[in-house]
Amino acid sequence: MSTYTTPSQRASAPAALLTPSEVASMFRVDPKTVTRWAKAGKLTAIRTLGGHRRYNEAEVRGLLGVPTARPAQD
C-alpha cells in the first residue's frame, strides 16, 4: 500500500509539507535555489527519515503573500 499523497490531499492536511520541486514551481526558481534558501535560513526545512527536505506549505504561502485556506470548523 502506498503512502503517497497528492498536492490536493496535502492541502487539506493540518501540517501540509511540500517538496523542493513544488516550492520551486511556486516561486518560479530552480529546486537547488530552494535548498540554498533553506541552508541560508531563509526557509525552514524539515528532514524526512530518508534525509529529504520538506517545507511547510503555510510558511511558503506566507512568503508568497498567498493566504492559506482554513478548514471549516464544526
Q: Which domains does the chain have, with CATH numbers?
A: 15-64 (1.10.1660.10)
pLDDT at 65: 85
Q: How confident is residue 15, by pLDDT bands cut at 50, 70 and 90?
A: confident
pTM for the complete prediction?
0.68
The per-residue DSSP string of 20-67 comes to HHHHHHHHTS-HHHHHHHHHHTSS-EEE-TTS-EEEEHHHHHHHHTPP
